[in-house]
């Protein structure tokens, strides 16, 4: 087993990995930028090292991180999600220094991180893929010609994109002409690559993704699917496991397809195969994420499998502990990404100091976060502050539990997406489990909730003011 792991990340996912290490008797090493010196992962790890003054670049300094891992006697690095998690060069640098990269092989990361290469690999494996360009586009003329043959609307996408950025829908040739340069410059800025491609836009699809686990001994299994159709600007807000919109036959089919896809590329460790489901019940491969996913939590909740622990065990060379038929699901889990954003102000980031925080609790509630009362949210990173995960035996009960948990949560000093999620939970289409990726745009009025504080919030504010005045 591994003895010591460096966590090349920050925030809630760093804390999540530290927790897995603690349970497995593995020493954890945290890294942090100056801006993160008061961050929770720094306090929670067994050892912590400052890696620079650059808020973001510090976490991307491949050689500094590998050197630090070697110098502190780590036998492995866990990359989390975002940052270097899908960077093949990083995986390779680890290997060259004799440090285990907790993820698939560098070659697989490289191949699947490139969306056009991934499409080619999937086509070769017989997996259904959206019609699109054979590879990257050379020019706007090339783009227009391909779009003409597959038909509008099309999606123009950054080949090495992620996090919902570098994607534009184009409804006609004018749109495509207008967006072509824009996507290229977005891609160059965000991902350091100007490569773009296009594929047919599936209008109002459902986003269905399958969690995969594979070891180095030829075993590949899936942990069923998640429904991530509740998105805004191609970014996930609420995720559900399993999808309440699939029947059992579709569930088995998509699970099998994902295993086939993973095997076709020699996949190892945890990964996610993302599909779109159209209104004629056809599935199309969209992309593969070669890392732990933000929403791995809901799969853990319904299957009882600790995905991060499994990642570490697989990286250590152990065999998967579960056979496919041993994976059982129970009930539904919903994850809410609590973002520091103001839904009533175009979801503008709302950074600042968290004046008071307490986590929701009670049965069927899990909170993954790295915030605490008094924490000042640095403006340099993701706006996701916390993930609230609820579960229950039925879809209806999971919704009720979600409402209860979100109301239970106390998070003051900044604006968050909590009140918006409460509106979504009330919506008949959500409750009837009949929604697609168009949901958020279809119901813009859901941001028109009242800002009047709830009675219990009011009472606690009054109590705080009284206490301050009387010195109690
Ligand atoms: P998930 O795929 O796990 O649902 P997201 O797509 O929301 O997660 O991405 C999670 C985090 O990782 C976000 O902070 C996002 O900006 C970052 N991220 C994802 N892909 C990339 C990428 N290719 N390059 C840079 N950052 C990325
Ligand atoms: P990222 O790497 O940023 O996660 P994806 O390729 O997974 O990018 O796409 C993100 C989201 O954009 C999807 O979940 C979906 O809502 C939308 N999307 C992507 N491709 C298409 C498509 N061809 N048709 C319709 N929607 C799409
Ligand atoms: Mg994706």
Band of the pLDDT at 233, cuts 50, 70, 90? very high
Tell me, what's the pLDDT at 273? 98
Does any ligand 1 atom lie closer than 6 A to the CB of residue 289?
A: yes
Minimum CA distance residue for ligand 1 atom 9:
163
Length reported for the chain: 472
Same domain? 413 vs 296? yes
Token pair 């490139």: residue: 114
Band of the pLDDT at 459, cuts 50, 70, 90? confident
CA distances from 424 to 105, 414, 435, 439 (A): 40, 20, 11, 9
CA distances from 360 to 127, 363, 389 (A): 41, 10, 10
Same domain? 309 vs 432? yes
Q: Cα 110–111–116 angle (5° rounding)?
A: 120
Q: Is residue 121 part of a domain?
A: no
Q: What is the CATH number of the domain that holds 269?
A: 3.30.470.20
Token pair 């670049």: residue: 57
Same domain? 344 vs 434? yes
Q: Is residue 391 part of a domain?
A: yes
CA distances from 143 to 123, 177, 259 (A): 20, 9, 32
Higher pLDDT, 459 or 85: 85
State which residues form the domain around 153.
Answer: 131-200
Same domain? 9 vs 93? yes
Question: 176-193 pLDDT, tens per residue?
Answer: 999 999 999 999 999 999
Distance 182 CA to ligand 2 centre (A): 17
Token pair 């991934």: residue: 118
Indicate which residue of 16, 27, 232, 291 is catalytic.
291
Question: 343-396 pLDDT, tens per residue?
Answer: 999 999 999 999 999 999 999 999 999 999 999 999 999 999 999 999 999 999
Give the predicted TM-score (pTM) of the model: 0.95
* 218 pLDDT higher than 80: yes
Task: Return all residues near 177 (Cβ < 8 A) that are at least 6 apart.
Answer: 140, 144
Same domain? 441 vs 406? yes
Same domain? 25 vs 140? no
The last residue of a domain, from among 200, 220, 245:
200
Distance 152 CA to ligand 3 centre (A): 21
Same domain? 234 vs 181? no
Same domain? 167 vs 214? no
DSSP structure string for 352-404: SB--EEE---STTEEEEE---TTPBPPTTS-SEEEEEEEEESSHHHHHHHHHH
Q: What are phi and psi of 298, to 5 degrees?
A: -70, -30
Q: Is residue 472 part of a domain?
A: no
Tell me, what's the pLDDT at 469? 82
* 472 pLDDT higher than 60: no
Q: Is residue 116 part of a domain?
A: no
Average pLDDT, the chain: 96
Task: Return all residues near 248 (Cβ < 8 A) that are at least 6 apart.
Answer: none
Distance 467 CA to ligand 1 centre (A): 43
Same domain? 313 vs 336? yes
Same domain? 409 vs 287? yes
**Other Cβ atoms within 10 Å of 259 Cβ, number:** 20
Share of the chain above pLDDT 70, in %: 99
DSSP structure string for 154-212: EEEEETT--TT-SEEEE-SHHHHHHHHHHHHHHHHHHHS---EEEEEPPSS-EEEEEEE
119 carries an active-site annotation: no
Q: What is the CATH number of the domain that holds 64?
A: 3.40.50.20
The residue among 296, 127, 124, 98 whose CA lies nearest residue 213 is: 296
Does any ligand 1 atom lie closer than 6 A to the CB of residue 163?
A: yes
Number of domains making up the chain: 3
The binding-site residues of ligand 2, defined as CB within 6 angstroms of any ligand atom, are: 130, 155, 161-164, 167, 199, 201-202, 205, 207, 231, 234, 274, 276, 286-287, 437
| 424 token code pair | 């979504």
Q: What is the CATH number of the domain that holds 196?
A: 3.30.1490.20
Q: Which ligand is nearest to the CA of 380?
A: 1
Same domain? 172 vs 90? no
Question: 251-305 pLDDT, tens per residue?
Answer: 999 999 999 999 999 999 999 999 999 999 999 999 999 999 999 999 999 999 9
Tell me, what's the pLDDT at 471? 66
Minimum CA distance residue for ligand 2 atom 13:
234
Distance 167 CA to ligand 3 centre (A): 11
Minimum CA distance residue for ligand 2 atom 1:
162
Same domain? 337 vs 417? yes
| 208 token code pair | 């269905």
């Amino acid at each position: 087993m591994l003895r010591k792991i460096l966590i090349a990340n920050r925030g809630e996912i760093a804390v999540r990995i530290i927790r897995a290490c603690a349970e497995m008797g593995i020493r954890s090493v945290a890294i942090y930028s100056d801006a993160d010196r008061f961050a929770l992962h720094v306090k929670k790890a067994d050892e912590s090292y400052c890696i620079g003054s650059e808020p973001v670049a510090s976490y991307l300094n491949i050689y500094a991180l590998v050197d630090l891992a070697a110098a502190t006697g780590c036998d492995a690095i866990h990359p989390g999600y975002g940052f270097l998690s899908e960077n093949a060069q990083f995986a390779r640098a680890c290997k060259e220094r004799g440090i285990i990269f907790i993820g698939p092989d560098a070659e697989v990361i490289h191949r699947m991180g490139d969306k056009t290469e991934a499409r080619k690999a999937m086509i070769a494996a017989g997996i259904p893929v959206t019609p699109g360009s054979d590879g990257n586009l050379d020019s706007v003329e090339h783009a227009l010609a391909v779009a003409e043959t597959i038909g509008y609307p099309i999606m123009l996408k950054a080949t090495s994109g992620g996090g919902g950025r570098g994607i534009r829908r184009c409804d006609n040739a004018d749109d495509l002409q207008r967006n072509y340069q824009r996507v290229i410059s977005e891609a160059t800025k965000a991902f350091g690559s100007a490569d773009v491609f296009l594929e047919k836009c599936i209008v109002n699809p459902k986003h269905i993704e399958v969690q995969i686990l594979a070891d180095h001994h030829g075993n590949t299994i899936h942990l069923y699917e998640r429904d991530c159709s509740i998105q805004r600007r191609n970014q996930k807000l609420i995720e559900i496991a399993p999808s309440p919109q699939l029947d059992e036959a579709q569930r088995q089919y998509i699970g099998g397809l994902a295993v086939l896809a993973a095997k076709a590329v020699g996949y190892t460790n945890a990964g996610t195969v993302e599909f779109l489901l159209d209104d004629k019940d056809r599935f199309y491969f969209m992309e593969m994420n070669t890392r732990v996913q933000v929403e791995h939590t809901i799969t853990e909740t319904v299957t009882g499998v600790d995905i991060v622990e499994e990642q570490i065990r697989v990286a250590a060379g152990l065999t998967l502990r579960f056979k496919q038929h041993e994976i059982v699901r129970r009930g539904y889990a919903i994850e809410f990404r609590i973002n520091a954003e103001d839904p009533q102000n175009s979801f503008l980031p709302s950074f600042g100091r968290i004046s008071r925080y307490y986590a929701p609790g009670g049965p069927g509630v899990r909170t993954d976060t790295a915030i605490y009362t008094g924490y000042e949210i640095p403006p340099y990173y993701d706006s996701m502050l916390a993930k609230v995960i609820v579960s229950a035996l039925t879809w209806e009960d999971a919704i009720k539990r979600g409402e209860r948990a979100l109301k239970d949560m106390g998070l003051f000093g900044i604006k968050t997406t909590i009140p918006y999620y409460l509106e979504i939970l009330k919506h008949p289409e959500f409750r009837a489990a009949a929604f697609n990726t168009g949901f958020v745009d279809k119901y813009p009025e859901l941001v028109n909730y009242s800002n009047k504080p709830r009675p219990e919030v009011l009472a606690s504010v009054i109590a705080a003011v009284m206490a301050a005045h009387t010195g109690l």
